């Protein structure tokens, strides 16, 4: 019985996704599928979570592999293009092979230097991980705050927080701009 119910839910969710992609509103989807608006809303929420999960899995597992395949493939084509250009006596073939080599270099350079999509995806995953960690810390601290009302520390300012917030601000700015700065600390003995 549960497998039949699961198939019905999967079918409904696929229809919700289809209707949503066609621009239907939630009330329209509910009317077409003859379910409540709340059910459509839950299905859309589920589909969003699935999409996030799929993106995370793709970025974590497939994207690095596909990236590496592209680089290896371009390197193999590049090697063959150079071999062909050196082994032929025909000027046209030589020029075509060198043109192919040039195109491979350009594509490799694009993959290696213009990886903004990869960087953005990695930043997205990192920020989502941070958000979930922050939410967990808030949950833990709120539950421990209520149980430890008598064990609070005095409300004295922490003068090191200013330094830490400046450093965190710089790190966030580096993440957004993609720049990296190094700090040198000289210690006197």
pLDDT tens for each residue of 104-150: 999 888 887 776 666 776 677 777 777 777 777 777 776 555 544 44
Residue 137 maps to a domain: no
**Domains in the chain: how many in total?**
1
Q: Determine, yes or no, domain membership for 84.
A: yes
Residue-wise pLDDT for 147-187, tens only, equals 444 444 444 445 444 444 444 554 544 444 444 444 444 44
Domain assignment present for 183: no
Residue 18 included in any domain:
yes
Residue 186 lies in a domain: no
Other C-beta atoms lying within 10 Å of the C-beta of residue 63 = 16
| Alpha-helix runs per DSSP H in the chain | 2-21, 26-33, 37-57, 63-87, 91-113, 116-147, 160-177
Residue 46 falls inside a structural domain:
yes
Q: Residue 95 belongs to what domain range?
A: 2-113
Residues 101, 85 contacting (CB under 8 angstroms) = yes
Task: Please tell me the least confidently modeled range out of 56-65, 91-100, 123-132.
Answer: 123-132
What Cα–Cα distance (Å) separates residue 7 from each residue in 2, 12, 19, 109? 9, 9, 18, 47
Q: Indicate whether 127 belongs to any domain.
A: no
The model's pLDDT over 6-26, given as tens digits with 9 standing for 90+, comes to 999 999 999 999 999 999 999
Residue 182 counted as domain residue: no
């Amino acid at each position: 019985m549960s497998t039949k119910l699961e198939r019905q839910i999967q079918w409904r969710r696929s229809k919700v996704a289809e209707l949503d992609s066609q621009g239907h509103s939630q009330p329209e989807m509910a009317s077409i599928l003859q379910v409540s608006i709340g059910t459509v809303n839950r299905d859309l929420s589920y589909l969003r979570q699935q999409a996030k999960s799929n993106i995370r899995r793709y970025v974590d597992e497939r994207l690095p592999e596909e990236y590496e395949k592209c680089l290896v493939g371009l390197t193999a084509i590049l090697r063959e293009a150079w071999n062909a250009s050196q082994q032929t006596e025909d000027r046209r073939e030589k020029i075509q092979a060198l043109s192919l080599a040039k195109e491979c270099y350009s594509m490799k350079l694009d993959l290696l230097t213009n990886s903004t999509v990869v960087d953005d995806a990695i930043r997205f995953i990192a920020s989502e991980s941070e958000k979930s960690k922050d939410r967990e810390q808030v949950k833990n601290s709120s539950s421990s705050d209520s149980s430890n009302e008598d064990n609070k520390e005095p409300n004295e300012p922490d003068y090191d927080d200013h330094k830490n917030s400046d450093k965190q601000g710089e790190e966030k700015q580096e993440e957004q701009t993609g720049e990296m700065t190094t700090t040198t600390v000289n210690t006197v003995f």
